[in-house]
């Protein structure tokens, strides 16, 4: 817009007008610049928010877990439901993806290179595709977009498989342990109960007896674990 034309000849010398003309364009540029800056700040903020949520996930903070869960479950649910899956499948796939996200976020060198949603979606997609293939359910009418990779998550899936295998070894060792060893060790190592709590819960006569029992159980679990783990 050319302001020169709007200003009467008599006012051309007015210092106020001169000041305005001189500064109008730089002001515009400044406003635009501020705009871009604000947009960038917005992006950084949402990025920071996601980082915060992930930290919460690692620390097992209920609010963060709920927030990530609520914001992403429906998307994964739609993906699974639209591809021959049930509600229960959707829940399993989503929770498995959350565990993978947790394992990834726990690493000290972790940095999220894409949005949380994109990451969970990519992981869930691969997990569901694998399950479909595993059950021989992968039929031609399955949405073919399921095959398109979203982002590269190969490494994370491989890591997850290793962790799953380890988890299963420990779980089966616990299962083979029998009672009261199983409950005793779970109370101490999983629920982090103290020795005096164990005495009370299980009715030992004193802490030393509980300690001896815990030791014996631990050695049995260790043996069961390594019998599977070293294979």
Whether the Cβ atoms of residue 58 and residue 102 lie closer than 8 Å to each other: yes
Question: How many C-beta neighbours within 10 Å does residue 10 have?
Answer: 7
The verdict on 161 binding another protein (CB under 8 A) reads no
CA dihedral of residues 180, 182, 183, 189 (deg, nearest 10) = 140
The binder of another protein chosen from 87, 114, 133, 135 (CB under 8 A): 87
Is residue 189 close enough to count as binding another protein by CB under 8 A? yes
Using CB under 8 A as the binding rule, whether residue 110 contacts another protein is answered as no
Decide if residue 95 touches another protein (CB under 8 A).
yes
Among 14, 74, 115, 172, binds another protein (CB under 8 A): 74
Minimum distance between the CB of residue 3 and another protein, rounded to whole angstroms? 47
User: Using the rule CB under 8 A, is 77 a contact of another protein?
Assistant: yes
Query: In 135-180, which ranges are continuous DSSP H helix?
Result: 154-177
Nearer of residues 29 and 78 to another protein, judged by Cβ: 78
CA–CA distance, 134 with 67 (Å, rounded to integer) = 32
The set of residues, in sequence order, having a beta carbon less than 8 Å from that of 228 and lying 6+ positions away, is 169, 172, 173
Tell me the residue ranges of DSSP E strands in the chain: none
Residues that bind another protein (CB under 8 A): 60, 62, 65-66, 69-70, 73-74, 77-78, 81, 87, 91, 95, 98-99, 102, 163, 166-167, 169-171, 189-190, 192, 211-212, 215, 218-219, 222, 225-226, 229
């Amino acid at each position: 817009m050319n302001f020169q034309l709007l200003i009467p000849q008599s006012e051309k010398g007015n210092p106020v007008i001169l000041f305005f003309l001189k500064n109008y364009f730089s002001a515009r540029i400044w406003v635009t610049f501020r705009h871009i800056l604000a947009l960038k700040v917005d992006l950084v903020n949402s990025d920071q928010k996601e980082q915060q949520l992930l930290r919460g996930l690692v620390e097992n903070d209920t609010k963060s877990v709920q927030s990530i869960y609520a914001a992403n479950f429906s998307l994964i649910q739609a993906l699974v439901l639209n591809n021959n899956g049930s509600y229960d499948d959707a829940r399993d796939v989503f929770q498995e993806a959350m565990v993978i996200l947790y394992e990834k976020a726990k690493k000290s060198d972790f940095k999220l290179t894409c949005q949380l949603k994109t990451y969970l979606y990519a992981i869930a997609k691969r997990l569901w595709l694998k399950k479909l293939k595993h059950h021989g359910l992968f039929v031609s009418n399955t949405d073919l977009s399921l095959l398109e990779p979203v982002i590269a998550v190969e490494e994370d899936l491989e890591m997850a498989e290793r962790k799953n295998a380890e988890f299963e070894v420990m779980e089966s060792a616990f299962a083979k342990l029998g009672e009261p060893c199983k409950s005793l060790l779970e109370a101490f190592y999983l629920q982090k109960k103290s020795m005096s709590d164990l005495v009370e819960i299980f009715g030992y006569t004193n802490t030393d007896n509980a300690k001896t029992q815990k030791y014996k159980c631990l050695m049995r679990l260790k043996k069961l674990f390594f019998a599977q783990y070293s294979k």
